[in-house]
Chains A and B, each alone.
Chain A
Amino acid sequence: RHIGPSASPVDRAKDVTMPAKLPVNFFSSGSPVTDFFQGQLDYAERIRQDSEVTFYFFYAPWCGQSITVREEIEQVARRLSDQVLFVAINCWWNQGKCRKQKHFFYFPVIYLYHRRFGPIEYKGPMNAAYIEKFVRRVMTPLLYISSRSKLLEFLSDYEPGVLGYFEFNASPQPPGYLTFFTSALHSLKKDYLGTIHFGVITNQQIAKEIPLTHSGSIYLHRHVNTSLIYPREVMNYTAENICKWALENREAFIHWLRPHGGKSLLLNNELKKGPALLLFIPFNPLAESYPLLDEITKVALEYNRCNKNQATEPAVPHLKETDSSPLESRMPDVHTPLAETFSITKYPCCNTVVLPQWYSISRTHNVCELCVNQTVGVKQSKVNLPQCNFLEIEAALDSFYLKEHTFFQVVSNTIECSNFLSYYSPFSYYTACCRTINRGLMSFISSEKTFFQTPKAAFSSHAKKCKVDTHSIPHIEDRNCLIPGSHIGGTNITGLSCRTNKTLNLYLLDSNLSWIYAERLGASQAIHTKEFAAIVDLQDEAHYIMDQNQALIKSTLGKVFSGAPITGG
C-alpha cells in the first residue's frame, strides 16, 4: 500500500494541472437521439414542452454502462422517434446545467415524461426490447377496451388488470377519467416492470359484463380470489390511492424476477419465503402472444385454486353463460370432487440397507432401516395398498446413497433416524434409521437373503452423476415389490398449494437476462432452447432440477408441482 509521502521534487511542473477534456458528442450526428452533450438541461426542458412523450437519457461520458446502453437507446429511438422525443443529456460535465441541478449516484438514468406527468424513472433491464415496451406503456398507459373480445383478452392476462368504466357521451371528459389515467401513469413509477395493466371501457354494454354500471367505477380483476371494486366511499378518489389500492390488492401467484445487476436482496427475500419453483423462459416483452406463459399461468392458477366453490365460480359470471367464451377454457376442470383425495394416510414401506464398508479395520456395520412414508395420497385406490411400490423403494434407495455420507458418522449403538428426500415431493419423504451392529451378525443376514443390485437403468441419471455405482453396492432386502405404477404420476394438482404444507412459490425469470442463475443451478449449456426449471429450497439447502430434455409444457409442469421426475442436486 502507499502510506508514506514520497519525496516531492521542487519543481514548478509539479503544480501543472489540466482541466477535464471538453465534452464531445456522445451520440452520432445522424442519430434520432438529440444529444445535449454539454448538459443543456434548460434547453431540453424547453423542447420537451412540445412533445407528448419524452425520453431522457442522462449519461456520463466515462461510464461503461452508459456506453453499453447507448446502442440500445438508439435502437428504440429508431422505432419510436416519430411519436416520442428522445433526448440524451450529459449530466456529468460540471459546467453544464444538468450537473448543477441534478445529483445522480449512478449512470445512466432514464426518465420518461407523459406531457407534464413525470419523471417516471425506468429501472428495468437495459435492453432495447424492455425499454421499448416501457416507453410504449408510457405512451399508452390505458388500454382501450372497445369490444367484448378485447375485454376477454384483457382479463385472461396472467398479470393483474385494472379496469375503469367511463361514459364519454355527456361531457368531453367524464369526471374522474383524468385521475384514472394518471393513476395508470403513477403505477409505472412504482412498478417499473409494468406488471399491472390498466384498461378503460367506454361502452355501457361491455361494462355490464363485469359488471360495472356507474361511470367512474374502477375494477381490479383477480383470478383466484374475488375481484374488487374500488371503494370510493372509503378511500379518496386520487391517482395515488387508486394505484396503491391496485398494488396492494393485486394477485400475484406468478412473480417475475428481474435482478437489475446492482446490489440486491431480491432472491434472498423471495427464496426465504419458502421453496421456490424457478422457471427460466426466453421472454420477448414485445411479442404479441405468449403461449408458453399461458400454459404456465394455467398450471399456476390451478395450483393456487384453493377453495373448490370459489374455483367453480367464474371470474366473470355474465361471461360464463355464453358458451364460446375463451375464459371457459382457462377454467380448470374442477368438477371432480377433491375432498375424497384428502384422506391422510400413512403406510410405511421399509427396507433394510447395509452401508458399504470404507474402513477395513472397522469390525462393525452400519445398518439402516429405510422407509418411504406417505402422508397424502392423491389417488384413493393406490392408498389402500399396504405394500411397497418397487419403484418407490428404488428411488428411496437411490437417494439414500446420495446422502449416505450423512450416515457414516453413526458409530454408536443407539438408533438414529433422519428424514430426507431427493426429489421434491409434497406427499412422501424417506426415513432412515441407522445403527451399528458387529460383523458377525451381518454375515448371518447376508447369507440368508436373496440380493439384487440396483437397476441402474431406471435411475441412471443419479448413478452417473454421483458415481454411486463405483461404490460397493450395498445389499438390500427385498420385500413385496410391485410392478411399476406410480401413485403420483397424475397431474391433478388443482388446489394442491393449500393441501400440503410444502407450498411452492412460482417465479419466472427471463432466460435472456438471467440465464446465469440457471447455469448455476445446473442447466446444461448444450441445450439450445433456453428453458429450464428448478426448485430451490433455501432452508433445506437443496435444489432439484427438471430434466432438460422434457419440454416445459403443462403436463410436465403439473408433475413438477406434485413432485415427479426431478433430479436431486
Chain B
Amino acid sequence: KGHHLFQSLLCLTLERVKSMFYHAYNNYLENAFPYDELRPLTCDGQDTWGRYCADLRFSVLTLWILGNVSEFQRVVNVLQEGVDFDIDVNASVFETNIRVVGGLLSAHLLSKRAGVEVEAGWPCSGPLLRMAEEVARKLLPAFWTPTGMPYGTVNLLHGVNPGETPVTCTAGVGTFIVEFATLSHLTGDPVFEDVARKALKALWKNRSEIGLVGNHIDVAAAKWVAQDAGIGAGVDSYFEYLVKGAILLQDEELMSMFLSEKNYTKFDDWYLWVQMYKGTVSMPVFQSLEAYWPGLQSLIGDIDHAMRTFLNYYTVWKQFGGLPEFYNIPQGYTVEKREGYPLRPELIESAMYLYRATRNPTLLELGRDAVESIEKISKVDCGFATIKDLRDHRLDNRMESFFLAETVKYLYLLFDPDNFIHNNGSNFDVVLTPYGECILGAGGYIFNTEAHPIDPAALHCCRKRKEEQDGETQKDSAETTSEDNGGGMNSEKNRKRRIPLLSCSSQPFNSKLAVLGQVFLDNT
C-alpha cells in the first residue's frame, strides 16, 4: 500500500515537472523566439548569444527526455537549417564548447532514436555533426599557445584577437575533453581530443606542491593569477571533466589525475576555499555551483561522502528555498551581493545521480522541495524568473537558458525511474555503420557539463575496423602469453592485485542503513 502511494506521488510530481517545462517553453516560443532568452517579467525576449535561439537549442534535449518526440523532430529540423558561424563575434571558448558543440553532438547522437531521418553514414556523419565540427574548428586557434592551454575568448572569424588577455579560469582550460574526444572519435580527426588532453595535462602539471590548482591561470606563461583553490566557480568543470573523460574514454590516466587532487579544502563535509600553495582557508564559503560535487563523487562510487556533503547543502536549501550564489558557512547566511538563485541545476543534478545510486527517499524530498520552491517563488505569467535575492525572494527579469536545458531535465530524470536515460544496458539498438555493426543506446550516458547526454557507445562506432582489430589481437596475445608462463592461478592473482581505477569499490557494510539522513563516520 505504501509502495503504491509512493509510486503515485512520483507520477504526480513528474507531471508537475512536465507542466513546469511547458509553461516556460511555450512562453519562450510565444514571446521570445527567435531571441536567445525569455524575459519572464516583461514577456519578451533578449539576445545573450547573438540570436542563436539559445533557449530553443539548449532545451531541445529536454524535450526529448520528456518524451515529446514530435516537437524534438520539429526543432531539430529547424536547427539543421544552419547557422552561419562565419561571423565577426567574440565568443567564450568554454561556453561555446559546452553549449553549442555539446548540444549539437548530443542532438546528433540521439536524433535517430527520436525518429529523425539520418543520413547513411550516421553516427559517423550528419548535418549536426558537421555543424559541431565546424564550430569546434573555430575554437581551435585558442589552443595555439605555448602551454597548450586555451585563451578564454576567440573571434569566430579572425581567431584570437591580438590584444586578448592570456588569463583564463581553470574550468575554461579543462572543460573540453568530453565534447572534443567525442568529436574526434566520430569524425576520425584526432586534433580535438589531442588539444583537449594537452590542456588538461598542462593544468595538472602546474598544480601546487600540495596538489592543488588555482582559480585563474596565465595560459602563455603558465603562472597562477588567482590562487584560490576550491571545487566551485572557476574550477568546477575541470574536476568534472577529469572524471567524465575517464569514464567516457575508459582512461585510467585521467582518473588517476582526478584522484591525485588532494583535499586540503574539506571541513566537516563542507568544502572551503584555500590558498593553493599554503592550504590556508581563504574563504569559508559554499557556492551554489559547488553543489554538483556530490553527484560527481557518486560517479566514482564515493557514495558515503557524497551523501554527507549533499545533506549539508540541503540544509542551505531549506533555509532559503534555493541556494544562494555564496553562503557563508560559519555565519550561516548569504554573502553580500551574492544572494541570488538563478534556478541553477547543480543540487538537483546531484540528487538525480545519488538517487540512482542509493534510492534514498531524502533525495526525492529535495526534488519535491525544488518543485514547490520554483513554483511558489519564481513562477510568473510568462515563465519562471530568476530569484534576485533569496532573503526576500525578489525576482529578476531573466530566465537563464540552463533552467530549461538542465534544471528541469534533472528534475524530470530524478522523478522518472523508467526514463531511457537510465537504461542499464538491458536494451539497445544495433546500427550498421560504414565500419560495421555498432551497438548504441545501451545506457551509461555521460552528461556534459551543460546536461547534454553523450552516448559513450557511439565513440566506438566510427573507428576504422582494422585499427580496432589490431588492438584486440595485441591484447589477446598478451593474455595468452601470461597464462602460458604463469599458469591460470597466477594470472588470476595478478589481475586481482591491480587496483581497478575505473570500477567502483564495493560499498561499505553500513551503507545499507545510510538512508533518510543517517550518515556513518569512516571506519578508520
Chain A residue numbers with a CB within 8 Å of B95 are 2-4, 6
A15 to chain B, nearest CB (A): 8
Chain A residue numbers with a CB within 8 Å of B292 are 1
Q: Which of B107-115, B159-167, B514-522 contacts A (4 or more CB under 8 A)?
A: B514-522
Q: Which of A16-24, A183-191, A344-352 contacts B (4 or more CB under 8 A)?
A: A16-24
CB of A339 within 8 A of chain B? Answer: no
- Write the A59-74 contact mask toward B (1 if CB under 8 angstroms, else 0): 0111111010000000
B-facing residues in A266-300 (Cβ within 8 Å): 266-268, 271
Q: Which of A243-251, A256-264, A394-402 contacts B (4 or more CB under 8 A)?
A: A256-264
B463 to chain A, nearest CB (A): 30
Chain A residue numbers with a CB within 8 Å of B187 are none
B110 to chain A, nearest CB (A): 22
- CB-based contact A1/B388 at 8 Å: no
Chain B residue numbers with a CB within 8 Å of A517 are 513, 515
A-facing residues in B474-524 (Cβ within 8 Å): 487-489, 492, 508-510, 512-513, 515-521
Q: How far is the CA of A16 from the CA of B395 in the complex (A)?
A: 9
- CB-based contact B517/A264 at 8 Å: yes
- CB-based contact B318/A105 at 8 Å: yes
Residue in A closest to B380 when the chains form the complex, CB atoms: A18
B-facing residues in A165-223 (Cβ within 8 Å): none
- CB-based contact A17/B388 at 8 Å: yes
Which single member of B369, B397, B518 contacts A13 (CB below 8 Å)?
Answer: B397
Chain B residue numbers with a CB within 8 Å of A262 are 311, 315, 517
Chain B residue numbers with a CB within 8 Å of A13 are 39, 41-42, 44, 46, 397
Chain A residue numbers with a CB within 8 Å of B368 are 64
Residue in B closest to A269 when the chains form the complex, CB atoms: B521
Chain B residue numbers with a CB within 8 Å of A3 are 94-95, 169, 171-172, 233-234
CB of B131 within 8 A of chain A? Answer: no
CB of A488 within 8 A of chain B? Answer: no
Q: How far is the CA of A260 from the CA of B42 in the complex (A)?
A: 43
Chain B residue numbers with a CB within 8 Å of A411 are 489
CB of A525 within 8 A of chain B? Answer: yes
Which single member of A361, A516, A525 contacts B516 (CB below 8 Å)?
Answer: A516
Chain A residue numbers with a CB within 8 Å of B508 are 541
- CB-based contact B515/A6 at 8 Å: no
- CB-based contact A361/B489 at 8 Å: yes
A13 to chain B, nearest CB (A): 5
B-facing residues in A6-57 (Cβ within 8 Å): 6-9, 11, 13-21
B-facing residues in A328-380 (Cβ within 8 Å): 359, 361-362
Q: How far is the CA of A19 from the CA of B98 in the complex (A)?
A: 34
Residue in B closest to A257 when the chains form the complex, CB atoms: B518
Chain A residue numbers with a CB within 8 Å of B289 are 1-2
B58 to chain A, nearest CB (A): 12
CB of B236 within 8 A of chain A? Answer: yes
- CB-based contact B315/A268 at 8 Å: no
- CB-based contact B2/A515 at 8 Å: yes
A94 to chain B, nearest CB (A): 4
Known: A1-B171, A105-B319. Contact between A62 and B518, CB under 8 A? no
**How many residues on chain B are close to A (CB under 8 Å)?**
76
Residue in A closest to B388 when the chains form the complex, CB atoms: A17
- CB-based contact A18/B395 at 8 Å: yes
CB of A235 within 8 A of chain B? Answer: no
Q: How far is the CA of A107 from the CA of B50 in the complex (A)?
A: 43
- CB-based contact A62/B315 at 8 Å: no
Residue in A closest to B366 when the chains form the complex, CB atoms: A64
Q: How far is the CA of A267 from the CA of B520 in the complex (A)?
A: 8
Which single member of A8, A20, A516 contacts B395 (CB below 8 Å)?
Answer: A20
- CB-based contact B48/A520 at 8 Å: no
Known: A16-B41, A106-B318. Contact between A268 and B48, CB under 8 A? no
- CB-based contact B41/A259 at 8 Å: no
Which single member of A20, A264, A359 contacts B394 (CB below 8 Å)?
Answer: A20
B-facing residues in A526-540 (Cβ within 8 Å): 536, 538
CB of B237 within 8 A of chain A? Answer: yes
- CB-based contact A61/B48 at 8 Å: no
B486 to chain A, nearest CB (A): 11
Known: A267-B513, A520-B513. Contact between A6 and B49, CB under 8 A? yes
B394 to chain A, nearest CB (A): 5
Q: How far is the CA of A67 from the CA of B368 in the complex (A)?
A: 11
Q: How far is the CA of A17 from the CA of B47 in the complex (A)?
A: 18
Q: How far is the CA of A267 from the CA of B518 in the complex (A)?
A: 7
CB of A483 within 8 A of chain B? Answer: no
CB of B134 within 8 A of chain A? Answer: no
Chain A residue numbers with a CB within 8 Å of B376 are 61-62
- CB-based contact A1/B519 at 8 Å: no
CB of A234 within 8 A of chain B? Answer: no
Chain B residue numbers with a CB within 8 Å of A107 are 318
Chain B residue numbers with a CB within 8 Å of A265 are 518-521
Prevailing SS type, chain A contact patch: loop
- CB-based contact A264/B519 at 8 Å: yes
A141 to chain B, nearest CB (A): 29
A-facing residues in B246-290 (Cβ within 8 Å): 289
- CB-based contact A516/B391 at 8 Å: no
CB of B372 within 8 A of chain A? Answer: yes
- Write the B218-234 contact mask toward A (1 if CB under 8 angstroms, else 0): 00000000000000011
Known: A9-B46, A14-B397, A520-B512. Contact between A62 and B321, CB under 8 A? yes
- CB-based contact B321/A2 at 8 Å: no
Chain B residue numbers with a CB within 8 Å of A19 are 392, 394-395
- CB-based contact A60/B321 at 8 Å: yes
A-facing residues in B48-97 (Cβ within 8 Å): 48-50, 92, 94-95
Chain B residue numbers with a CB within 8 Å of A261 are 362, 365, 516-517
CB of A521 within 8 A of chain B? Answer: yes
A365 to chain B, nearest CB (A): 13
Q: How far is the CA of A15 from the CA of B488 in the complex (A)?
A: 72
Chain A residue numbers with a CB within 8 Å of B169 are 3
- Write the B314-343 contact mask toward A (1 if CB under 8 angstroms, else 0): 110011010000000000100000000000
- Write the A124-167 contact mask toward B (1 if CB under 8 angstroms, else 0): 00000000000000000000000000000000000000000000
Q: How far is the CA of A343 from the CA of B513 in the complex (A)?
A: 38
CB of B104 within 8 A of chain A? Answer: no
- CB-based contact B48/A6 at 8 Å: yes
Which single member of B92, B373, B487, B510 contacts A538 (CB below 8 Å)?
Answer: B510
- CB-based contact A9/B48 at 8 Å: yes
Residue in B closest to A19 when the chains form the complex, CB atoms: B394
- CB-based contact A259/B518 at 8 Å: yes
B57 to chain A, nearest CB (A): 14
Of A13, A61, A107, A541, most B-chain CB atoms within 10 Å: A13
Which single member of B362, B377, B449 contacts A1 (CB below 8 Å)?
Answer: B449
Chain A residue numbers with a CB within 8 Å of B362 are 261
Residue in B closest to A362 when the chains form the complex, CB atoms: B489
Interface residues of B (CB under 8 A from A): 2-3, 39, 41-42, 44, 46-50, 92, 94-95, 98, 152, 169, 171-172, 175, 233-234, 236-237, 240, 289, 292, 308, 311-312, 314-315, 318-319, 321, 332, 344, 361-362, 365, 368-369, 371-373, 376-377, 380, 385, 388, 391-397, 400, 402, 449, 487-489, 492, 508-510, 512-513, 515-521
Q: Which 10 A-B pairs have the closest CB atoms?
A: A20-B393, A541-B509, A263-B311, A64-B369, A62-B376, A16-B397, A4-B92, A64-B372, A520-B512, A94-B392
- 17 further interface pairs, Cβ-Cβ under 8 Å (given A18-B41, A63-B369, A65-B369): A1-B292, A2-B289, A2-B400, A7-B49, A14-B397, A18-B394, A60-B321, A62-B377, A64-B369, A259-B518, A261-B365, A262-B315, A411-B489, A516-B361, A516-B515, A520-B515, A525-B3
20 contacts between A and B (CB under 8 A): A1-B240, A3-B172, A7-B48, A13-B44, A14-B46, A16-B41, A60-B321, A62-B321, A63-B372, A64-B373, A65-B365, A94-B391, A259-B517, A261-B365, A264-B517, A268-B521, A271-B513, A516-B515, A517-B515, A521-B512
Interface residues of A (CB under 8 A from B): 1-4, 6-9, 11, 13-21, 60-65, 67, 94, 104-107, 259-268, 271, 359, 361-362, 411, 514-517, 520-521, 525, 536, 538, 541-542
